[in-house]
Copies of this chain bind each other. A is one copy, B any other.
């Protein structure tokens, strides 16, 4: 059921200048235990994770005196979770939070869909926040409804709390294990009871989750950059298939699932994670710079300058420049006041499109041969517009270098991708794309090159690659069963 209670939220599109032509991470999660006014720390953590979900955010907290409290809002963390009037309604030393782009199920924006989800069980309440996507959610929902559960949201994540409500186990951590064993797909979950903070990653470890420490408190976060903002120290990554239960200052670890090969999402390296986060001990920025280096080795071209497509192409452009020796330059200037897109624009303004967000540095690029480095090509609409802007401004040549392989397959593990037929690379080869986009050259990094950049010296393993790269390869580590049921065709076995 669509609910207009929060219709205003529809006017809050996310902030990235090319959002309509990017893959979008769907969620970020954060939790804190053992720090006074934990919700304040969660608000800061969510602010640092805002790039993982700009549509809405929520916080649930607990205090022995006031019990559970929560707040869920559409819009940015900085606008919602910073006012004293809101934050003083969220007391206590234990809190979790969630930012989201949009859930798999929902079209309209409804406050009921905003996590964390909360359930009151006979042994007390629990709240969960989920990053990822449950690939058998439709089947689970059908089964739960038949047994008399009432869903309040259209989110796939709500299945988890209903499975927990119906579990026969006696305590909440065991109920959560029970529930997650029925769930297929990708999940990094942060959850809480009145006294415990819990974190779980799915057996493949598709989505990230890290453990941090601040004074006597413990922190769980999607990325390490959110530890930095509160001054917490990065302890380690939660392992694929690991569950941690934190209370009384202690962290208990267990591995409740059948072991699976690790399949961390390689696109977290390319685009989703923030460049100042650390994955596998290495700066994401440095990995992206290295992608630019590999890209320059694989696809050199003679030119006058290397320009990033801001902001995500910047590290790879720096790497490309350093490897190629071609000077790095800011050929495109981003309007820093485009934090959101225009609300209800007039038609004339809407037609301005990308010019509202970016401007070519005309005096700089006139008559020059330019290499533009971008992180990915999804629909290709933005690539074409940028090329047009450069030609209008008098560039002599425009060469695109893309810091990821062609995106030819949708992601079903918590990323918002267009339907397969709308992905440019699903229907065209690299050369066809180059011709279609009418650029002087267009080259993507190879899958092997990408694996080298992320640190796999021998490249991608054929049989069982070290990462989930389904969006490039079509090889899905977990069968997306709901999608297959709806008619999605998996890649034919070779």
Q: Point out residues on A near B: beta carbons under 8 Å.
A: 1-5, 7, 15-16, 37, 40, 43-44, 47-48, 50-51, 54, 60, 67-73, 76-79, 82-90, 111-112, 118-122, 125, 142, 145-152, 161-162, 165-166, 225, 228-231, 274-276, 278, 281-283, 285-286, 289, 311, 314-315, 318, 322, 327-330, 333, 335-346, 348-349, 352, 355-356, 359-364
Are A82 and B355 within 8 A (Cβ)? Answer: no
Identical chains in the assembly: 4
Are A7 and B314 within 8 A (Cβ)? Answer: no
Are A40 and B336 within 8 A (Cβ)? Answer: no
Are A79 and B343 within 8 A (Cβ)? Answer: yes
Q: Which residues of B contact A69 (CB under 8 A)?
A: 1-4
Return the contact of A166 from the options B15, B148, B230, B348 (Cβ within 8 A). Answer: B148
Q: Which residues of B contact A89 (CB under 8 A)?
A: 2, 4, 7
Alpha-carbon separation in the docked complex, A71 to B3 (Å): 5
By Cβ-Cβ distance, the 6 closest A-B pairs, closest first, are A339-B339, A283-B363, A148-B166, A276-B333, A82-B342, A1-B68
Q: Which residues of B contact A68 (CB under 8 A)?
A: 1-2
Are B361 and A3 within 8 A (Cβ)? Answer: no
Are A282 and B363 within 8 A (Cβ)? Answer: yes
| Contacts A4-B70, A89-B7, A125-B1 given; does A286 touch B328 at CB 8 Å | no
Alpha-carbon separation in the docked complex, A352 to B356 (Å): 32
Q: Which residues of B contact A4 (CB under 8 A)?
A: 69-71, 86, 89-90
Alpha-carbon separation in the docked complex, A69 to B1 (Å): 5
Are A349 and B44 within 8 A (Cβ)? Answer: yes
Alpha-carbon separation in the docked complex, A35 to B37 (Å): 44
| Contacts A318-B330, A364-B285 given; does A229 touch B352 at CB 8 Å | yes
Alpha-carbon separation in the docked complex, A44 to B351 (Å): 12
Apart from A3-B69, A276-B362, 11 more pairs, CB < 8 Å: A4-B69, A4-B90, A37-B348, A78-B337, A79-B340, A82-B349, A84-B344, A149-B149, A228-B359, A228-B360, A285-B364
Alpha-carbon separation in the docked complex, A67 to B229 (Å): 44
| Contacts A361-B283, A363-B283 given; does A228 touch B1 at CB 8 Å | no
Q: Which residues of B contact A315 (CB under 8 A)?
A: 330
Query: How far apart are A106's CB and chain B's nearest CB, in angstroms?
Result: 14
Alpha-carbon separation in the docked complex, A84 to B111 (Å): 21
Query: How far apart are A70's CB and chain B's nearest CB, in angstroms?
Result: 5
Interface CB pairs A-B, < 8 A, 29: A2-B70, A3-B72, A37-B348, A40-B349, A44-B349, A48-B359, A76-B337, A77-B337, A78-B338, A78-B343, A83-B343, A83-B346, A87-B349, A122-B145, A148-B148, A148-B162, A148-B165, A150-B152, A225-B359, A228-B355, A228-B359, A274-B359, A276-B333, A276-B359, A278-B363, A285-B361, A289-B329, A322-B327, A328-B328
